[in-house]
Structure 1
Amino acid sequence: MKKRQILIVAAVLFTKLYSWSQLNSKVSENSKYVNPFIGTGSIDSLSLSGSNFPGAVFPFGFVQLSPDTDAEPEDPCSGYDYADNRIVGFSHTHLSGTGVADLFDFLFMPFKGEPKWYPYDSESEKGYSSIFDHKNEIATPGYYSVFLDDQKIKVELTATEHCGIHRYMSEGKEPFSLIIDLNHSLDKKRPYWSCKVIDAQIKIINNHIIEGYRTLTGWANLRKVYFRAEFSKAFNKTEIKSGNKIYLDEKIANHQNLKTIITFDNNEEPLVVKVGISSVSYEGAQENLKAEIKDFNFNEIRAKTENQWNKELSVIEIEGTEEQKKIFYTSLYHTFIHPNNIADVNGNYINSNGELRNSKEKKYYSTFSLWDTYRAEHPLLTIIQEKRSVDFINSMLDHYMEYGYLPIWQLWGKETYCMIGNHAIPVIVDAYHKKIPNIDYNLAYKAINASSTISHQNSAFNILEKYQYIPEDLESQSVSITLEIAYNDWCVAQMAKGLGYINDYTHFNNRSEFYQNLFDYNIGFFRAKDSIGNWIEPFSPLKYGGNGGYPYTEGNAWQYLWYVPQDIYSFMKMFGGEKQFADKLDDFFTLDAKPSDVNGNASGFIGQYAHGNEPSHHIAYLYDYAGQPWKSQYYTNRIVNDLYSSKPSGYSGNEDCGQMSAWYIFSSMGFYPVNPANNVYVFGSPQLNSAVIKLSKGKKFEIITHERSDENIYIQKILLNGKPYKKIYIKYQDIIIGGKIEFFMGSKPNRNMVNYDKPPLLSF
């Protein structure tokens, strides 16, 4: 009897514990806070935005199925501008937040009436594009819908990792057609990275299946992409336009300018189209489709993708205002779009040399916007996406094994050489110092060493070694390149030291100090020299550089003045000490930018601080190093609240594949990696009532902010795990073991924080 009672009690306890565990393991529905329209533009097209797209995407997925509002997209580079009121179609690949356009593969667009081969009206025919109203447009993670006013057709889109699925519902029963345009791409007349379709093919397999591919060169060189489209009902008529010729019911065609129109007579039921994409082959597209979309159940795929997004977005749970939740979870969503897994479901992918390779892990990631994302996104992902961070780095190492050095700005496995430096280096060194497992760090060191010694079109190391700076008459963007390589060299030196390569440590550590050779003590700025050693004249600290032909990259002398994250205290002495350094920071944040001094790469100004471009992102936190942490709290609070919103114009510049979002995520929680590879996170002004970061092995790190309000922006007291904490930074090691930090806020600066421990340069 007692044994039976014990069993009953045990069963009851098990049931309760199981129910409790199920309740507590339930994935939060944080996708409801995400607004994919944030960063897509503005009503008047005058406000800056993030160059984001609103369409359907799977986390880190190969397919980004989204509307295009321009027949030859270029600006915004996402293909969608919220200020537009006309859609030209729905293409399957897009970039999120970049400053250069590419992709836009395989545009699909439904229409009614006579065949329409062009998106806009002409004297001889009406175009297939359509007016739409934002009131009839919906976007959530993994789902997009819109009503096309001209066509009277509702379009719905969702996506898996390698596939897209469309659903078209017509108001009337009359026949409608679908154009598939293989010539749709970015502006073919642009002065650089012009796009050209080299060849394309369309194959009508039967009256339910169409396949096609195209090879094109644009930002990514010689990129090939295949598709397989399967239709839920039969089409009864096909036309193919090959160049200027039109073929009726032809089965196959090849041309650089290729389109097909298919017509459906039976429209009593919605038309569902499932499309598999591959960068490898027709077979790859078919296998991807077979593996990820079994039938034509649109709602099921939408629900699965939404569930996956909820799972991904549950890695951080926050409490704050509704506005804060919208911005925070949309930011988290944007950090999970790129990089993309371009390997097929069987692991096949095309490497940087155009060769077929296979990944045993079925993963090969690309779209590495490293000049942007090494600063905050990758340090964030090492905390909340550790396994994927391993996959990202292993993909970078695969690139090195094939190509000879690490990726710089890699798109679809192709090196674009966009931007300067090689910032895969700090990403790898950051992972090394964080002891993230399952990475071959001996191979990784060979990769970062080679990427710091082999001169190529993006890094002239032979010139650097000879002059101990980059002369402007030999290489434009010389100041920015010198400074950024100096930081990368510091990273290489630290990893070399950790692995016992002492000679390498000495060499790269010395090279990391070359930045000092371009500092003009007379005026207090970094500026360009020529190969003889003379300062380049004339000099203006306010003039902006672009991506060539000037000493500064997408910034000016004010913004690049502060790029010494590896050696801040030595750099401070070059100004004469803490006070002089802080005074210069004060000038930086209060000297207004004149419209005549600014170009398109600078936006989101507070004085000379330009949050819309990445070189400024760490600068507000430098007051912490200069003994005035309350000013870091003031300016980070101002940036968070003035330069982010939940509107379509919610970013102050290009979102850049997650970097602008990662800055917000870190800063709203109250800390930021000024040096992305030293395991130190410096305090700003925490914004959220609470945030819980879910770590590996069931651990969590909790951030609590007491008495936070619009006025109470200054830290008065800090507790770490219940004990007084007299530092203005926290280490990665303190976060990753789990625990709780509490910030107590007030309306006035706490000047006693001058006595708190300042951030160290090393924490490993």
Structure 2
Amino acid sequence: MTASAHTSHLRLDFNIADDYQTDQPVKPYVSIQVTRRNWTGQVQIDPEKNEISGSNPQRQDYRLGPDKPASFRGYFVSRFSEPFESYGTSHRANISEGTKSASGELLGAYVSFHQNTKRVEVRTAVSFVSIDQARRNLEIENPDSTTFEETVNNAKTAWLEKFGRVTIEGISSTDKEHDPRTIWYTGLFHALQYPSDFSEPTSRDPQCSRTFYSGYTDSVHETNDSYYQSWSIWDTFRAEHSLLTIFAPERVNNMMRSLLQIFDWSGRLPMWANMVETNIMIATNADAVLANAISRGFCSFDLQKAWTAVRKDAYEPPENDTQLLYYDREPDTPYEARAGLTSYMDHGWVDNDRWSESASRTLDYSFNDAACAVVARAVGKVDEAVALEKRAKNYANIWDAETQFMRARNENGAWAHGSWGWTEGDKWVYTFDVMHDTDGLANLFAGGRQGMKAKLDKHFDGGHNMHSNEPSHHVPYLYSLIGYASAAAERIRRIALDNYNATSAGLSGNEDLGQMSAWYVFSALGFYPVNPASDEYVVGSPFFEKVTLRLPAGVATGGEANRIGGQERTLVIEAPGAPTKPYVKSLCVDGRSIDRPVLRHSDIVGASLIRFEMSKTPTGWGEDGEL
């Protein structure tokens, strides 16, 4: 199997005698499942073109969210390298030999070949626009003259444009299951797949216009840009989008324009857009995705519209906010946005006796407010930024000083009983879910930073850290931010060893569109974006002795390589002895000493050399800087 952007290429080798262990004549055949139960699709067979085409209306999450795109279809065209000897369709268990077209649920089509056929190649193109567009995708990306080897080489060439930019040295692992190089490159491969370019070419000219289907308008659009979908933002805002600003800067502005295009259509930024809004998970973390891009210099999109969009998130509750629970995957709801914003604006927390996942919402909305403030400052709305920064302190409203945990609260201010109020986590991980104000969080603990460090120790030593889900991802780096960088190094190395390996079970949790891998990619380089609404990365513990990165043109100029004249940059990250020396002893960027465990985006994309001095034993580095 191999693929291009909109096509697959399969090579099927038949050995009938070995496969079937029979002396009876058996013809090689291929069967295509077109639809499943309860979904009515259609299929056509064209023996003159050696082609099967069809469509399927099945859409995951079709009950979720307010959008019901009635004309949605996934279209396909499969073209075979050998002529059909026979063909037909199937409907449930009924086979209709010689039938060229059919529709229904549990629908299939099949073609068989001459008994002596040993190899068949199948090239399949997909489209969300039409069968004609699927056929066009096939002609553009994988025409009849394309050999299987050429498709393989084209795919390798496309991916090596990214992988070939990174050279890792200083690892001599004999444990193939835990070779960090394999894990790292696999992680980069995963992280560069989403959000997905949903647009389709109209010609072979790379400068041609593109076409795409929008479920928000239930219609087809033309564009000169790419249009991006698959926004698992509750997961990916944490590190995935920061990674894209370094490794795929040429795509970031288009991604931000896609977010704002969705806002134009729906009146809301997406939460979890899978063709259309699904309302899966909580909070308006697209605010942070926009702030992330802006803070890193990406500005080739409508900043005023970005402010309009995030301001609506911050101040306008969803429809029926006081009537709906907005529980996870509640069907047929309006755009959820910040459910419970009514009470959050009234008294500073989301009421547990009126909305689901209330405590997690309170913490996330506080972070979202900080992200909105970044966008406000970018467009000169200083007063509004100050107001949002003040409201971003609302996380403290659910701090229980007696138990030293974050806790859900009811409308009357009383603490909620039991372990309620959390989103895919518990009180342990969410007590540390203040990514934008670590100092303020530390001040809540009895004993300040020492008290927070003691709580972190209990969190990890007690087995409460669940790296398999995203709310835990920034937590080990909090040690660095409160003056205990060596403790961060120990936890990060342990998490990497326990949760990642180079086997088919190489991730401890759901990849969630690149976030799980983005954690490893950053951590192995030695830093991680704890507050993804800012331009800061917190230093941890680099895994490799030397990494050379040829950063794409535009990485230091907000993605605008051509307009601003940006060029490729080469960054070397050195950490001699890192595989056996986990602790940072000193850090320099182009010879400039870094005393606090924080790097800015400009330090990374503008530098030529980042050099760590490593130690086998804990050090005092990072403990004395003003944090």
TM-score bucket (shorter structure):
0.7 to 0.9
In structure 2, relative to structure 1, the CA distance for the partners of 1:453 and 1:288 (3 Å cut) is farther
Does the Cα contact within 8 Å between 1:490 and 1:512 map onto a contact in 2? yes
Alignment of 1:449-528 (within 5 A): 449-454=311-316, 455=318, 456-460=335-339, 461-528=341-408
> Is residue 161 of structure 1 aligned with residue 5 of structure 2?
yes
Match of 1:332 in 2: 188
2: CA distance, partners of 1:727 / 1:739: 20
**Of the candidates 553, 557, 567, which is equivalent to residue 437 of structure 2?**
567
Give the AA of the match of 1:553.
T
Deviation of 1:368 (Å): 1.3
Any conservation in 2 of the 1:170–1:267 contact (CA below 8 Å)? Answer: no
Output aligned runs, 1:44-83, within 5 Å. Answer: none
3-state SS of 1:512 partner: helix
Identical residues among aligned pairs (%): 29
* Post-superposition offset of 1:315: 3.2
Residue 535 of structure 1 aligns with an amino acid whose one-letter code is W
Structure 2 counterpart of 1:232: 81
1:689-719 deviations in Å (ceiling 9; x for gaps): 1112322212122210012243x21111222
- Aligned mates of 2:153, 2:62 — CA distance in 1: 33
The letter of the residue matching 1:583 is A
**Matching of residue 206 in structure 1 with residue 69 in structure 2:** no
- Matched-pair contact (CA < 8 Å) for 2:596–2:623: no
Q: Cα deviation per residue 1:448-490 (whole Å; 9 max; x = unaligned)?
A: 2223334143522223222321111111100001111110111
Amino acid at match of 1:182: V
Matched, 1:368 2:248: no
Show the counterpart of 1:288.
137
1:551 corresponds to 2:421? yes
Distance 2:200 2:596 in 1: 48
Match of 1:275 among 118, 124, 130: 124
How far off is 1:244 after superposition? 5.2
- TM-fit CA distance, 1:530: 1.3
Matches within 5 A, 1:168-207: 168-172=12-16, 174-184=26-36, 197-207=38-48
**Residues 205 and 371 of structure 1: CA distance in aligned 2, closer, same or farther (over 3 Å):** same
* CA-CA distance at 1:441 after TM superposition: 1.4
The 3 A distance-change label for structure 1 pair 283 and 197 is farther
Give SS of 1:609's match: coil
Q: Is 1:737 paired with 2:567?
A: no
Q: Contact 2:191 / 2:513 at 8 angstroms: preserved in 1?
A: yes
* Deviation at residue 369 of structure 1 after TM alignment: 1.2
Tell me if structure 2 keeps the 8 A contact 1:718–1:743. yes
Give the alignment of 1:83-482 within 5 angstroms.
157-172=1-16, 174-184=26-36, 197-207=38-48, 208-220=50-62, 223-243=72-92, 245-265=94-114, 267-295=116-144, 296-321=146-171, 323-346=179-202, 347-411=210-274, 413-454=275-316, 455=318, 456-460=335-339, 461-482=341-362
- Kept in 2, the 8 Å contact 1:220–1:414? The answer is no
Q: What SS does the aligned partner of 2:432 have? A: coil
**Does the aligned pair in 2 maintain the 1:471–1:528 contact within 8 Å?**
yes
The Cα of 1:497 is off from its aligned counterpart by 2.3
Partner of residue 126, structure 1: none
Within the alignment, does 1:657 sit opposite 2:513 as a pair? yes
Contact (CA 8 Å) 1:220, 1:415: kept in 2 or not? no
Corresponding pairs, count: 564
Contact 1:352 1:399 in 2 (8 A): no
Contact 1:234 1:264 in 2 (8 A): yes
Residue correspondence of structure 1 range 710-725 to structure 2 within 5 A = 710=580, 712-725=581-594
Residues 143-177 of structure 1, C-alpha deviation per residue, up to 9 Å, x if partnerless? xxxxxxxxxxxxxx111100111111112485211
Are 2:567 and 1:701 equivalent residues in the alignment? no
Paired residues of 1:158 and 1:302 also in contact (CA < 8 A): yes
Partner-residue secondary structure (3-state), 1:328? helix
Residue of structure 2 equivalent to 1:37: none
C-alpha distance in structure 1 between counterparts of 2:315 and 2:121, whole Å: 53
CA contact (8 A) 1:344 1:362 kept: no
Distance change (3 Å), C-alpha of 1:362 and 1:679:
closer
Cα offsets for 1:192-245 (capped at 9, x unmatched): xxxx64320011233411110011243256552000111112112122123454
1:348 & 1:718 partners in 2: Cα distance? Answer: 48
495 and 204 in structure 1: CA distance in 2 versus 1, 3 angstrom threshold: same
Amino acid at match of 2:7: C
Deviation per residue, 1:58-95 (Å, 9 max, x gap): xxxxxxxxxxxxxxxxxxxxxxxxxxxxxxxxxxxxxx
- Tell me, in whole angstroms, the C-alpha distance in 2 between the residues paired with 1:575 and 1:493: 26
Paired residue for 1:545?
none
CA distance in 2, matches of 1:739, 1:220: 49
CA distance, structure 2, for counterparts of residue 175 and residue 717 of structure 1 = 69
Alignment pair present for 1:628 and 2:478: no
* Conserved? CA contact 1:352–1:402, under 8 Å: no
Relative to 1, partners in 2 of residues 1:178 and 1:575: Cα closer, same or farther, differing over 3 Å? same
Distance 2:243 2:621 in 1: 30
Which residue type is aligned with residue 358 of structure 1? H
Q: CA deviation at 1:247?
A: 2.1
Corresponding residue of 1:582: 453
Q: What TM-score comes out, normalization by structure 2 length?
A: 0.86
| Aligned-residue offset at 1:589 | 1.4
Which sections of structure 2, spanning at least 5 residues, go unmatched? 18-25, 64-68, 174-178, 203-209, 319-334, 554-566
Name the residue aligned to 1:23: none
Q: CA shift at 1:399, angstroms?
A: 1.1
For normalisation by structure 1, the TM-score amounts to: 0.71
| Separation in 2, partners of 1:721, 1:506 | 35
Shift of 1:731: 0.9
Which runs of no fewer than 5 residues in structure 1 stay unpaired? 1-156, 185-195, 541-549, 592-606, 759-764
- Please state how far the C-alpha of 1:560 moved relative to its aligned partner: 0.4
Show CA shifts across 1:110-144 (max 9, x none).
xxxxxxxxxxxxxxxxxxxxxxxxxxxxxxxxxxx
| Conserved? CA contact 1:525–1:557, under 8 Å | yes
Secondary structure of the equivalent of 1:691? strand
Task: Determine if contact 2:74/2:126 at 8 Å carries over to the other structure.
Answer: yes
CA RMSD after TM alignment: 1.9
Post-superposition offset of 1:564: 0.8
